[in-house]
């Protein structure tokens, strides 16, 4: 269960399930690219003061369970995760640009849902099972 944290004037437990897809649903999140993506996303989270407690991808999309504080906004979290990861992956794996014309790795849309203590276990299991099919 998510830890209840304390801020200066508030107590909180905020978790989100976030999903986004590769542009055109191209199946490029494989092998070294998939491994590097997870490293990059975890570093972005650390740099921006939130935590990724679960992460998994399945060839053409990414699922995250994040813990954050009330100062974090979803659009800023998404912008950081998608923008920085795309730039760094294109830099390290230039072959991605050939598959994804137009210079965009990610589809511009995303899914986000709040996670409660009642749904956290199911969402964790769902994310962990993304590659198990």
List, by residue number, the catalytic residues. Answer: 126
Closest CA to 66 of 46, 91, 86, 83: 46
Backbone conformation region of residue 74, classed left if phi is above 0, alpha if psi is from -120 to 50, else beta:
alpha
CA distance 114 to 93: 33
109: burial class by Cβ within 10 Å (0-12, 13-18, 19+)? exposed
3-state SS assignment for residue 44: helix
């Amino acid at each position: 269960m998510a830890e209840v944290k304390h801020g200066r004037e508030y107590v909180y437990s905020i978790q989100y399930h976030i999903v986004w897809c590769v542009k055109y649903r191209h199946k490029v999140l494989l092998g070294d690219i998939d491994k590097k993506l997870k490293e990059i996303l975890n570093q972005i989270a650390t740099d921006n003061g939130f935590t990724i407690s679960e992460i998994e991808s399945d060839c053409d999309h990414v699922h995250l369970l994040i813990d954050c504080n009330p100062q974090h906004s979803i659009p800023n979290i998404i912008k950081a995760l998608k923008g920085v990861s795309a730039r760094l992956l294109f830099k390290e794996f230039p072959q991605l640009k050939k598959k994804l014309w137009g210079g965009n790795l990610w589809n511009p849309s995303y899914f986000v849902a709040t996670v409660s203590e009642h749904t956290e276990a199911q969402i964790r299991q769902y994310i962990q099972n993304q590659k198990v099919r």
